[in-house]
Amino acid sequence: MATTTATLILSSADVTGHNFSMTQTATLTKAASSTGLDEFTGITSRTYAGAQANTIIIAKGDYVDTTVSHKVYIRNTSTGNSDYILVELEDDVIVGRLYPGDWMFIPYLGVLNVEVTTIATNVSIEYGVFSQSTVS
């Protein structure tokens, strides 16, 4: 099986009274297992000509659900600072807004679609799913 790692580095010289720097690395494995995730969509890049409303970017039907350890990566690749992407789980459950340059990395259970809403034209996005098959 594949070996995939996800590393997060958070740093700031001035958000607290002292330097803050944190690095966390996770090896992406199947649920309750040391076996690596074995599926990946690749990184999809899209530029939406028009504003989007609840556009499905990750369809629940494409994935095994419930006892899983899927991961979702999404990034707003637009420029400027105002054209946000509203990320929602199915039925308008708002996760939050990704402003240009912002990214997110979340666990995904496979039971709800992941959707995006944009407010402007020509908003660009990239996303990918690391997931587990039912192969042991």
Partner 1 sequence: MATITATINLTSPDITGDPLNLSKTSVLNKAATATGLDQFTGITTVVYAAAQTARCIVLADDASGLSGYADTSVAHKVYIKNSSTGSSDFVTVELGGSNIIMGRLYPGDWCFFPYDGTLDVDIDTSAANMKVEYAVFSQSTAS
Binding site residues, partner 1, CB under 8 A: 2-16, 20, 22, 24, 26-29, 31-34, 36-38, 40, 42-43, 68-73, 75, 81-82, 84, 87, 89, 93-99, 101-109, 111-112, 130
**For 62, phi and psi rounded to 5 degrees?**
-85, -5
* Min dist. Cβ of residue 25 to partner 1 (A): 8
In DSSP terms, 115 is beta-bridged to 56, 88
- C-alpha to C-alpha distances, 61 to 50, 93, 121, 124, nearest whole angstrom: 26, 18, 29, 25
- CB closer to partner 1 out of 81 and 136: 81
- The answer to whether 110 and 63 are in contact (CB under 8 A) is yes
Identity of the residue, 50 or 103, whose beta carbon is nearer to partner 1 in the bound complex = 103
Shortest distance, position 133 Cβ to partner 1, whole Å: 12
In contact, 105 and 130? CB cutoff 8 Å = no
Query: What is the token pair recorded at 13?
Result: 């010289």
| CB closer to partner 1 out of 9 and 135 | 9
- Which residue, 49 or 66, has its beta carbon nearer to partner 1? 66
- Least distance (Å) between residue 135 CB and partner 1: 14
Cβ at position 96, least distance to partner 1 in Å: 3
Rounded Cα distance, 35 and 15, in Å: 38
Say how far apart CA 79 and CA 97 lie, in whole Å.
Answer: 15
